Amino acid sequence: MQICKEELCTGCGACASVCAFGAIKLLLNQSFERIAKIDKNICKDCKKCFNICPALKGVEYNFPTACYASYSKDIEDRKTSASGGIASSLTNSFITSGGIVYGTAYENGKFLITRADNKAKAKLFKGSKYVKSDSEEGIKNALLDLKQGKKVLFFGTPCQVAGLKNASKDNQNLYLVDLICHGTPSQEYLEDHVREQTKKGFADIENISFRDKDGWRLKVYTNGKVVYNKSHQEDVYFKSFLNGETYRQNCYFCSFAKGERVGDITIGDFWGLGKEKPFDESTEKVSVILVNTEKGQKLLEEYGTNIKLIAREVKEAIEGNDQLRAPTKISKNAQIFKQEIKIKPFSKAIKLTSTYKACKKLQRRNKLIRLAKKILKKI
């Protein structure tokens, strides 16, 4: 039995986290997307899951009242974050004040939302992981912390934030940060791709990063060493992600891709910064912060003291960022991939897209350039 229609389910897992009887599991469908399913034999028909599901009941949105171009004042923190290091800066201040932070980490072969009450654990949250992270356990634990009167800061994609928002009702101890999001592919796709490239499954992979001080690169680590390292243009998982070809079906109809926001603040890359109105500094590694509620303003005032904030117009952020206006469109490559992934693993399904061919062409070209440079060095 389902809670909402399969094509609307975001896999946020809020339903599973509120079911007192453990009757809901997130199960993989034919396309490897995790969909919430109720076990009729366990369900007591209390309706709690139906009443909090954002896909069924909607969620409260707020239009931003302020917008900032922003970055962490800690140079190293900014350098090692995906964008301006806003998430990391807020996280560290919140933990120093005794709060609990939830973010996405790669742990024991899974990308999942998990809990941190110390800075060492919270370091795992740093960096954008371009996959769908599992969030039901994270939401469940955040609800438990709130029940015990703890202060909670939660980072997630808007659909994950919406799930916790509905499940927690209006809790004053909860601060919600949503990321601007253009879509998420299943972890199974990434694992299959990594296995194809490194001959290792997630169980043997120590870490995976997408953006760091070297820019946009897919890097895979085992035993402290990088065993795979390709740019976002050469790597077919990364390229097809950025092209919007491999997302969950519901992402193409995402109701959160708009100016009105679900979190107390929204963070993302500040695309289009300075295009109309000049920006006096470099636009490299500058994030956008949208302040959507009074609580969001309080969050910045109390925990954002190590963040440089430069006021900009909300309009500038919305005009510069597609995902603040509409969901990603389904391209021809996305349609091909969607058909193929039902019957093939990622590494085979993606081969039929023009993106795969473009990546291979670039890899061959770069290989030749490297070879030519090597020969020239020897002469």
Q: Where does this chain bind ligand FAD (CB under 6 A)? A: 81-88, 103-104, 125-131, 133, 155-157, 179-182, 184, 267-269, 271, 287, 321, 323
Provide the minimum distance between the beta carbon of 232 and ligand FAD in the complex, in angstroms, as a whole number.
12
> Per CB under 6 A, does 113 bind ligand SF4?
no
Among 49, 267, 273, 349, binds ligand SF4 (CB under 6 A): 49
Please list every residue from 18 through 47 that binds ligand SF4, using CB under 6 A. 19, 21, 23-24, 36, 38, 43-47
Candidate segments 16-24, 75-83, 192-200, 329-337, binder of ligand SF4 by CB under 6 A = 16-24
Q: How far apart are CA 236 and CA 185, in angstroms?
A: 13
By a kind-dependent CB cut-off of 5 to 8 A, residue 130 interacts, out of ligand SF4, ligand FAD, none, with ligand FAD
Helix (H) or strand (E) holding 296: helix 294-303
Token pair in block for residue 268 = 């993302």
Restricting to residues 300-319, which ones interact with ligand SF4 according to CB under 6 A?
none
29 near 35, Cβ under 8 Å? yes
Smaller CB separation from ligand FAD, 23 or 81: 81
Tell the residue number behind the tokens 């990603």, with chain if given: 328
Q: Output 23 or 82, the one with its CB closest to ligand FAD.
A: 82
Query: Which three-class secondary structure state does DSSP give residue 238?
Result: helix
Element (H, E) at 230: strand 225-231
Residue 133 contact, options ligand SF4, ligand FAD, none, Cβ 5-8 Å cut-off depending on partner type: ligand FAD
| Candidates 83-91, 154-162, 286-294, 371-379; binding stretch for ligand SF4 (CB under 6 A) | 154-162
Determine contact, residues 150/101, Cβ cutoff 8 Å: no
> Rounded to the nearest 5°, which phi and psi values hold at 10?
-90, -10
Torsion of the alpha carbons at 207, 225, 90 and 129, rounded to the nearest 10 = -40
Shortest reach from residue 181's CB to ligand FAD, in Å: 4
Q: Which residues contact 244 (CB under 8 A, 6 or more apart)?
A: 182, 183, 328, 329, 331, 334
Residues near 20 by beta carbon (within 8 Å), at least 6 away in sequence: 46, 48
CB of 20 to ligand FAD, least distance (A): 26
Residue of the chain from 250, 293, 321, 333 that contacts ligand SF4 (CB under 6 A): 250
Bridge partners, residue 10, by sequence: none
- Which does residue 84 bind out of ligand FAD, ligand SF4, none, counting CB within 5 to 8 angstroms by kind? ligand FAD
Query: In angstroms, rounded to a whole number, what is the distance separating the alpha carbons of residues 9 and 108?
Result: 26
Nearest distance from residue 27's CB to ligand SF4, in Å? 11
In whole angstroms, what is the distance from residue 159 CA to residue 248 CA? Answer: 12
Binding stretches for ligand SF4 (CB under 6 A): 3-4, 9-15, 19, 21, 23-24, 36, 38, 43-49, 53-55, 157-159, 163, 181, 183-184, 248, 250-251, 254, 256
